[in-house]
Amino acid sequence: MIFALIAFIILLLLQIPISFVLGITTFFYIFLSANFGLLDATPQRLFSGLESYGLLAIPMFMLAGELMNSGGITSRLVNFSKTMVGHFRGGLAYVNVVSNVLLASIIGSATAQIAMMSKIMVPSMEKEGYSKEFATATTASAGILGPIIPPSMMFIIYGVTSGTSIGDMFLGGVFPGILITFLFIVLIGYFGTKHQWPTLTRSTVSQMFKSFISVIPALLVPIIIIVGILTGIFTATEAASIACIIALFVGGFLYKEIKLKSIPRILINTAITTATITMLIAMANIFGWVLAFERIPQQIATWMTSLTDNALIFLIIVNIFLLIVGMFLDGIAALIILVPIFMPLIINYNIDPVHFGVIICINLTIGLLTPPVGTGLFIASSLTNIKLERLVRAIWPFLLASIVALFIISYAPQIVTWLPSIFN
């Protein structure tokens, strides 16, 4: 197993896509250990890792995001944010964060938001006098709200893997998302005052009202999803299909920006993204299967329980462990591998599974912004043509704010559990 781990680390450092890393490492282990019987069961394990009704929500939410983006939703959300907060000191930085919050309630993917907003917000902020480093750091940091504010791909995968209600996970992410947004806004306020950043012209009441009216159809998507799940009208998977229908109606008939000729491109983009995630889930499943065969989860569980019987200290250890894991491993892959390890432990420590799910998802999402394998860093860096080292230096205050929020959420579980408890 040690040689397989060495191969795993080397492949990661070579920046090979994580799904290939997991698959290659698995087969490398099988051949090194001469457990060729595992090869017979590998196809079945690949298939069984994807055989879940809950995972059907992923392509549907991805399609809804593509439809909303192509339907002119993004530009309207940005314009609405400008009318609301653009007149404050450092207005465009606030607009960046608020727009990402609104997009998070529609798209649910950090990498998609970072890629999208890097093209829109960074040039605008740079034109207004903000440094490219700060503009890119703000955009990448605000993008991590995507998997925290519902609907969230990571919440869906955690729910499927752990057997936790996806609806409860969606509700549990609302206040943590608000908390992280608040800390980012405080941070921007501090830097805005310190550097005397520019403000936008204050919008009139009429302009605010018109902007709000134009964005109402877009905001109906998350509202309908949450209300539908809470009232039991439809499941999270069915909600994703409803979101697609609404997105198509809004973009095609109300905003009239989705053309018939753009449908093939939307479907192709959805298929490519879904295939990428599906392959990652399948490969992570066989990698986790090999770890279970070697009893690695049991050994980690035994080691952790031997360290402490205090739930608070356990959460400190888990947070540090996950922050390190997030530096090297993709969040979805880490979820599939680690959740089966931690679920028996959180039962022993009497930790609410929804609370723990939000903690682990935030932790691994922060990993998108941490070197050496932070996917969000690489996306933002490549799209804005800024050196990775400069971006890392600019992003650390936002990382620190995210970690502060993480520890607040870890030791104040009511932030996560209060909303699900009301509706349950």
pLDDT at 297: 67
Least confident of 134-143, 144-153, 193-202, 357-366: 193-202
What mean pLDDT do residues 333-339 have? 83
Q: How far apart are CA 68 and CA 411, in angstroms?
A: 36
* In the predicted structure, residue 395 carries a pLDDT above the cut 80: yes
What mean pLDDT do residues 374-393 have? 82
Q: Is 283 within a domain?
A: yes
Share of the chain above pLDDT 90, in %: 13
Q: Which of 62, 41, 28, 47 has its CA nearest to residue 285? A: 47
pLDDT at 246: 82
Q: Please list, residue by residue across 169-200, b when 16 or more beta carbons sit within 10 angstroms of its beta carbon and e when fewer do.
A: bbbbbbbbbbbbbebbbebbeebbeeeebebb
CB 295 within 8 A of CB 333: no
Please indicate whether residue 400 or residue 119 has the higher confidence score (pLDDT). Answer: 400
- If you ran DSSP here, which 8-state letter would residue 109 be given? -
Residue span of the structural domain in which 140 resides? 36-423
pLDDT band at 60 (very low <50, low <70, confident <90, very high): confident
Three-class secondary structure of residue 329 per DSSP: coil
pLDDT at 208: 82
The model's pLDDT over 276-305, given as tens digits with 9 standing for 90+, comes to 778 877 887 788 778 777 777 677 777 777
pLDDT at 73: 74
Least confident of 12-16, 60-64, 177-181: 12-16
The model's pLDDT over 18-37, given as tens digits with 9 standing for 90+, comes to 778 888 888 888 887 777 77
Q: Is 210 within a domain?
A: yes
The crossing angle, in degrees rounded to 10, of helices 263-293 and 57-70 is 150
What mean pLDDT do residues 104-111 have? 75
What mean pLDDT do residues 305-321 have? 85
pLDDT band at 54 (very low <50, low <70, confident <90, very high): low
What mean pLDDT do residues 407-424 have? 90
pLDDT band at 413 (very low <50, low <70, confident <90, very high): very high
Q: Is 79 within a domain?
A: yes
What mean pLDDT do residues 139-165 have? 87
pLDDT at 98: 86
pLDDT at 307: 79
CB 309 within 8 A of CB 73: no
Overall number of domains in the chain: 1
pLDDT at 373: 67
Please indicate whether residue 198 or residue 59 has the higher confidence score (pLDDT). Answer: 59
Question: Residue 203: what are its φ and ψ, rounded to 5°?
Answer: -75, 150
The model's pLDDT over 232-266, given as tens digits with 9 standing for 90+, comes to 777 777 877 888 888 888 888 877 788 888 888 88
Q: Is 67 within a domain?
A: yes
Q: Is 20 within a domain?
A: no
Q: Is 5 within a domain?
A: no
Q: Is 16 within a domain?
A: no
Distances, alpha carbon 100 to alpha carbons 139, 152, 182, 350, 353, in Å: 8, 14, 13, 34, 27
Specify the pTM: 0.81
Please indicate whether residue 301 or residue 192 has the higher confidence score (pLDDT). Answer: 192
pLDDT at 312: 87
Q: How far apart are CA 319 and CA 176, in angstroms?
A: 16
Q: Is 179 within a domain?
A: yes
The model's pLDDT over 349-378, given as tens digits with 9 standing for 90+, comes to 889 999 999 999 999 889 888 876 677 888
